[in-house]
Structure 1
Amino acid sequence: MRISWLGDVLRGAGLSVVEEGDWLNRSAGSTFEPIGVLWHHTAAPSSSANPAPALNVCINGRSDLPGPLCHALVDYFGVFHLISANRANHAGNARASGPIPAGSGNTMLVGWEIDYAGDGGGGQVQEMTQAQYDASVTATAAVLNQLGRDASYARGHRETSTTGKIDPSFIDLDSMRADVAAAMGGGNPNPPAGTPLKVTVGNLNVRPTPATTGAPVGTLANGTTVYVQCQAVGEAVTIGGNTSHNWAKITSPVAGYITCHYVTGGPNLSVPSC
């Protein structure tokens, strides 16, 4: 199978795409029957000045592993660089993870190499940029829709690796799958308490637990990204003069109840999601 549709699907999802050379014919073997998407990080420090430092390696491979090493590299700005429409050497042998069975990860999985250092790559510790994360969620949702699979078929390399891989670092993979599900339109309109969701918020007013009334006790900066869990579903919160959203209990960086003010361009979650 050749995923020659990849560029069109990603562009159709609103992503910036660069086709790197003869990506349609670049291949690391013949057997490729993808059922899911696998996230990696390159361990190469990226920056606005050097947004795709691992691009050449992902195309041409290493001395111990021939390229291509992924299907697309996601650069610092969230641009998708298409590297292969065929089998790629990115996953090796896979252990069973969620609905992904044990077997050849290179046969079963489309791979994104997200270009950031992670946990000490290149002597640096670096998290994925928000642009990389958002683009990777959007791309994963689009590809899984194309494959006819749900968000559970999105995995991280550390979940399938048989050799102790840790990538992608600094990402909660259950939250990632919840974001992919939301992007696919499969979010639960009434999620149970404790369901993990990521929301982008600004002017975050923190109130003490357990009170849900009273003056705010702290403020986080505009555009802050936090990870929250649904709490007290059905309890109203006034946001911009309406009560269409719910309270949530924040687990990091501080404890307490929060009100959410959505940032323009943030996730369009249809649920009382914060």
Structure 2
Amino acid sequence: MATPITSGSLLTALRREGCTVVEVGDWRRHNRNHRGPWGPVNGVMIHHTVTSGSRRTVELCRDGYPGLPGPLCHGVITKDGRVHLVGHGRANHAGLGDDDVLRAVIAERRTPPPNERNTDGNTRFYGFECENLGDGRDPWPEVQLDAIARAAAAVCRHHGWNEWSVIGHLEWTHYKIDPAGFTMDAMRGRVGKLLR
């Protein structure tokens, strides 16, 4: 368990890891902290957006929509490989998930299949939304996959975590399928390589 990274340290960590970062509006103070705690944090969660078009995707993830206010993540990773920071603090990205999965993330080992929704993931995880339709056919450009791995590695490196601290939304709850189009084992392989 760890204290959440400061906004300045997050920016520095991402840039040191080789990410191209775009700061969106007042991202450092844009959060849902009034709805509950953020932290202690235990890992990084990867999502797909079910959207196309970078500008629309970033706006949606920053502002949210009726019934689910933004920010919907901490960073949006667009197809061009840029990491758009849209929030810092509690974000509406993870929702409820399985406490057994959280225990595995804390222990930095393979997660079991999720079968419960009894734990608030918005408290425990950094979230990166990745621009993709999520239909298994929309391509994932190499520059985007590299940026996802680098963003996750930046957070893990800051906290001293390994690649098992990075999970997909589908590994947190059986109600989700994201990210679709690549495997989280392959992504963790990329993260582990960067960390080593």
The two structures share one fold, judged by TM-score above 0.5: yes
Correspondence 1:167 to 2:178: yes
Q: In structure 2, what is the equivalent of residue 35 of structure 1?
A: 42
Deviation for aligned residue 1:73: 0.2
Consecutive unaligned residues of structure 2, counting only runs of 5 or more, are 107-117
State the aligned residue count. 176
Deviation for aligned residue 1:100: 2.9
Q: In structure 2, what is the equivalent of residue 104 of structure 1?
A: 120
Per-residue Cα deviation, 1:149-169 (whole angstroms, up to 9, x for no partner):
11101000000025x110000
Percentage of matched positions with identical amino acids? 35
Instruction: Report which stretch shifted further, 28-37 or 97-106.
Output: 97-106
Deviation for aligned residue 1:87: 0.7
RMSD over aligned CA atoms reads 1.7
Per-residue Cα deviation, 1:109-141 (whole angstroms, up to 9, x for no partner):
000000111217xxxx41322111101101111
TM norm structure 2: 0.84
Q: In structure 1, what is the equivalent of residue 149 of structure 2?
A: 137
Write the distance in 1 (CA, Å) between the matches of 2:57 and 2:51. 6
The change in CA–CA distance for 1:175 and 1:2 in structure 2 (over 3 A counts) is closer
Question: Match for 1:111: what amino acid?
Answer: G
Correspondence 1:65 to 2:74: no
SS at match of 1:37: strand
Correspondence 1:26 to 2:33: no
Instruction: Write out aligned runs for 1:83-232 (5 A).
Output: 83-95=86-98, 96-97=100-101, 99-100=104-105, 103-119=119-135, 125-162=137-174, 164-185=175-196
TM norm structure 1: 0.61
Q: Which has the higher contact order (CA 8 A, sep 6+)?
A: 2
Write the distance in 2 (CA, Å) between the matches of 1:17 and 1:67. 19
Instruction: Write out aligned runs for 1:4-23 (5 A).
Output: 4=7, 5-23=9-27
Point out the structure with the larger strand share: 1
Write the distance in 2 (CA, Å) between the matches of 1:52 and 1:116. 13
Q: Is residue 118–residue 127 contact of structure 1 (8 Å, CA) maintained in 2?
A: no
Write the distance in 2 (CA, Å) between the matches of 1:52 and 1:131. 18
Deviation for aligned residue 1:97: 2.5
Consecutive unaligned residues of structure 1, counting only runs of 5 or more, are 186-274
Correspondence 1:44 to 2:51: yes
Deviation for aligned residue 1:2: 5.4
Question: Match for 2:105: what amino acid?
Answer: I
